[in-house]
Amino acid sequence: MSDSLTEFHVSPGGALCGRIRVPGDKSISHRSIMLGSLADGVTRVSGFLQGEDSLATLGAFRAMGVEIEGPHDGRVVIHGVGRKGLKAPAQPLDLGNSGTSMRLLAGLLAGQGLDLVLTGDASLSGRPMRRVTAPLAQMGARVEATDAGTAPLHIRPVEALHGIDFALPVASAQVKSCVLLAGLYADGETCVTEPAPTRDHTERMLQGFGYEVRREGNRICLRGGGRLRACDIDVPADISSAAFFLVGASIAPGSDLLLEHVGMNPTRDGVINILRLMGADIEVSNERSMGGEPVADLRVRHAALHGIHIPEDQVPLAIDEFPALFVAAACAEGETVLTGAEELRVKESDRIQAMADGLQALGVDARPTPDGMTIQGGALRGGEVDSHGDHRIAMSFAMAALRADGDIRIRDCANVNTSFPDFGRLAGEAGLHIVTENG
């Protein structure tokens, strides 16, 4: 893990210009390793995100006996062991800060007949896991958490899992994916019903590996016992990482930035929809499909933003992008109101409280609520903020300096490496006045 004393020191002003490609999509990178490992044959991945979270997934499958070459410049070659070919690791699987790894692996490993333990860092060990252990128990799995319902998770071998028909209590792609991946090993059919659309990378990639997935409205079903066939995967640039630059270029006068090869999955495009509602100038071009995932180039130019009531149907489509969107709201004219986003309180940090505290430190009228925030746009001053070890908080406040009247110092930025290694260099080349200071 990177040095926890890493800080960003960002000077005010500047504009974002030129053309950049942000790192590969984290969600798709995770799933490429998981499904490639369980497939028959050799899967080749390009554009793989070499961040700490997806490397944690890669390391876990190596520890379970999968031969994986790379990553070298985003290229990974996975020699699949088949659906039942994983071996029990010699040690607990340390998944670092990655909630996606832990929740999806809990499902994928529940029916493998292996005895193993999933662990993580202090942040991950405080995040709720009953949301996955409860439906897995309904399927006959034995996944034991702490008394508080947190990691470490001890997965015990069971004879067999059985399919269930599960209604998600809250919209969550991680819980949906956990149940569906467990369903690969269950007798009969497993179905998940969503209360609102969530990212569908798992379903798309299963189909890319030749596994039949059936969708009927908001209900997704698959039958256990099928076979995954190796394929080639080109991971698009992560729209969650592009979001910081979409916001930065929107708020900084003189900006004109082209973001290349960005994943445009319709369950992930809420950040574009919300920014456009606020008046952003975002142009989509060169639309194409890569391995079942829509991809496009995004040109974003400075525009005068205005406050809005964020539509609740957009919340699940932008759940990871709200730290950046809060910065856009702080730079917009008028009031922005977010509701229906209580999920933000159980991410890598309590993102509602962490962003409210940081915005207030920069002179912004930001009022947190149990499920969102009300932000009155206005002038940003310089100051010091704490990212609480949350990569998205750190990068969002870095972009805020584009409109601040003084330097912004952001503490505890090491975890930016979980999703966006080299953020400081790429942002600096685009025009952000950023210096990374270690220890």
Active-site residue list = 320
Q: Please count the CA atoms within 13 angstroms of the CA of 238 that sit on its side-chain side.
A: 26
- Phi then psi dihedrals of residue 434, to 5 deg: -120, 140
Spatial CA neighbour of 10 closest among 405, 414, 421, 415: 405
3-state SS track over the chain: CCCCCCEEEECCCCCCEEEECCCECHHHHHHHHHHHHHCECEEEEECCCCCHHHHHHHHHHHHCCCEEEEEECCEEEEECCCCCCCCCCCCCEECCCCHHHHHHHHHHHHCCCCCEEEECCCCHHHCCCHHHHHHHHHCCCEEECCCCCCCCEEEECCCCEECCEEECCCCCHHHHHHHHHHHCCEECEEEEECCCCCCCHHHHHHHHCCCCCEEECCEEEEECCCCCECCEEECCECHHHHHHHHHHHHHCCCCEEEEEEEECCCCCCHHHHHHHHCCCEEEEEEEEEECCEEEEEEEEECCCCECCECCHHHCHHHHHHHHHHHHHHHCCECEEEECCCHHHHHCCCCHHHHHHHHHHHCCCEEEEECCEEEEECCCECCEEEECCCCHHHHHHHHHHHHHECCCEEEECCHHHHHCCCCHHHHHHHHCCCEEEECC
Order of strands across the sheet with 165-167? 165-167, 189-193, 219-223, 214-216
